[in-house]
């Protein structure tokens, strides 16, 4: 397993992160025994980074992870969780208000049965709560020793920049990470979010790196997924997100490349993500131990640069405006200096 720093923080994490959304899920998840076995296999494989959320399986994911952690050294692991989704029927138990952040954190600590959370993440943006309020609440929790680092998930690029700008102005702890949807099929974050993270020093944690299992190749040659499969049970969300003509062609390409390299499609898809230095980790989820074992091999496997570019070119991303304008006008306007300055902003 290889390790990367989480953004500009000093926190070193495995470049594969174990996702626990399956823990306690009654439809496509696993029970406590399997969850504990999955954690054990992940840790034995060198993984130290585990992600959950208070909204996964109604809090059961955190509880089951807490039980699994009893078999391991807590201080050697980096545990991440989140808040934002409704925690119960109370109208105040949602979003990023001070009340909800503090209450959600306390409940997560109890479910995880731990004294501290390494990475606490805002699971989504709250359009009704000033970010100053949310940041102050998180900063208070950091100063109280209940959380160590702060991250976000599903934020817009401008919200990432604004959040860290406010943090710098007010003297609060900044965001060190962002967790977003990113895979070979859905590369949307390359337009604005990845550049914002790069500028602000946030490490990217990729969720759904295998496109809900599609990049494993198991749904090839199917008109539609099995209704009993995870992607079939979540069809209203997953089919519009992943199931379209270009994505099916992309999957065929991944399978072809995997065969050529003697790797599995999953390992190739994960390694493609990790070929970008802006990516800190890719989240791997599992409902069986053998799935973890297969994906762990991507913790050490690096795609050759030319193969990664081949996959990138197989489904080009149209960046649109203003990138097209910059691509046309930047070369003729600048480029007169002998050397590139160290503070150069990296544009897509």
Non-local CB neighbours of 284 within 8 Å, separated by 6+ positions? 16, 17, 18, 19, 209, 210, 270, 291, 292, 295, 296, 298
The sign of the CA dihedral 104, 106, 107, 108 is: positive
DSSP state of 173: P
Non-local CB neighbours of 283 within 8 Å, separated by 6+ positions? 16, 17, 18, 19, 51, 179, 205, 206, 207, 208, 209
Q: Determine the Cα–Cα distance for residues 4 and 316; give it in Å rounded to an integer.
A: 27
Q: Determine the Cα–Cα distance for residues 20 and 29; give it in Å rounded to an integer.
A: 9
Q: With H, G, I as helix, E, B as strand and everything else as coil, classify residue 13.
A: strand
User: How far is CA 268 from its chain centroid?
Assistant: 17
**116 is an active site residue:** no
At 276, give phi and psi (nearest 5°): -95, 120
Residue with token string 């208000």? 97
Q: Determine the Cα–Cα distance for residues 209 and 189; give it in Å rounded to an integer.
A: 13
Of 72, 2, 28, 1, residue with least CA distance to 293: 1
Residue with token string 């230095």? 277
* Neighbour tally for 28: CB within 10 Å: 17
Catalytic residue of the set 56, 149, 172, 219: 56
Q: Determine the Cα–Cα distance for residues 146 and 108; give it in Å rounded to an integer.
A: 10
Non-local CB neighbours of 54 within 8 Å, separated by 6+ positions? 62, 81, 82, 83, 85, 87, 104, 107, 108, 111
Positions annotated as catalytic residues are 56
């Amino acid at each position: 397993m290889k390790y990367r720093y989480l953004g500009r923080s000093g926190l070193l994490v495995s470049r594969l992160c174990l996702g626990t959304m399956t823990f306690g899920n009654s439809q496509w998840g696993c029970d406590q025994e399997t969850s504990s076995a999955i954690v054990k296999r992940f840790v034995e494989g060198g993984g130290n980074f585990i992600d959950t959320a208070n909204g996964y399986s109604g809090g059961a994911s955190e509880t089951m992870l807490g039980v699994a952690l009893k078999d391991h050294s807590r201080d050697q692991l980096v545990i991440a969780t989140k808040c934002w989704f409704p925690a119960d029927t109370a109208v105040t138990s949602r979003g990023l208000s001070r009340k909800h952040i503090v209450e959600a954190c306390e409940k997560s600590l109890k479910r995880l049965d731990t004294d501290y959370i390494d990475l606490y993440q805002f699971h989504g943006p709250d359009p009704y709560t000033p970010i100053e309020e949310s940041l102050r609440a998180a900063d208070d929790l950091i100063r109280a020793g209940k959380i160590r680092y702060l991250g976000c998930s599903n934020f817009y690029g401008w919200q990432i920049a604004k959040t860290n700008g406010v943090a710098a102005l007010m003297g609060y702890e900044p965001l060190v990470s962002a967790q977003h949807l990113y895979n070979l099929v859905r590369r949307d974050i390359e337009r604005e979010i990845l550049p914002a993270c790069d500028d602000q020093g946030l490490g990217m944690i990729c969720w759904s790196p295998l496109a809900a299992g599609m990049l494993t190749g198991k749904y090839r040659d199917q008109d539609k997924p099995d209704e009993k499969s995870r992607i079939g049970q979540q069809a209203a969300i997953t089919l519009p997100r992943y199931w379209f003509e270009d994505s099916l062609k992309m999957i065929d390409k991944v399978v072809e490349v995997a065969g050529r390299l003697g790797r599995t499609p999953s390992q190739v898809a994960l390694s493609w993500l990790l070929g970008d230095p802006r990516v800190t980790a890719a989240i791997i989820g599992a409902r069986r131990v053998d799935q973890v074992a297969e994906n762990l091999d991507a913790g050490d496997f690096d795609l050759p640069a030319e193969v990664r570019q081949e996959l990138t070119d197989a489904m080009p991303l149209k960046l649109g405006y203003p990138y097209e304008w910059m691509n046309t006008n930047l070369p003729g306007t600048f480029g007169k200096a002998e050397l590139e300055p160290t503070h150069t902003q990296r544009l897509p």
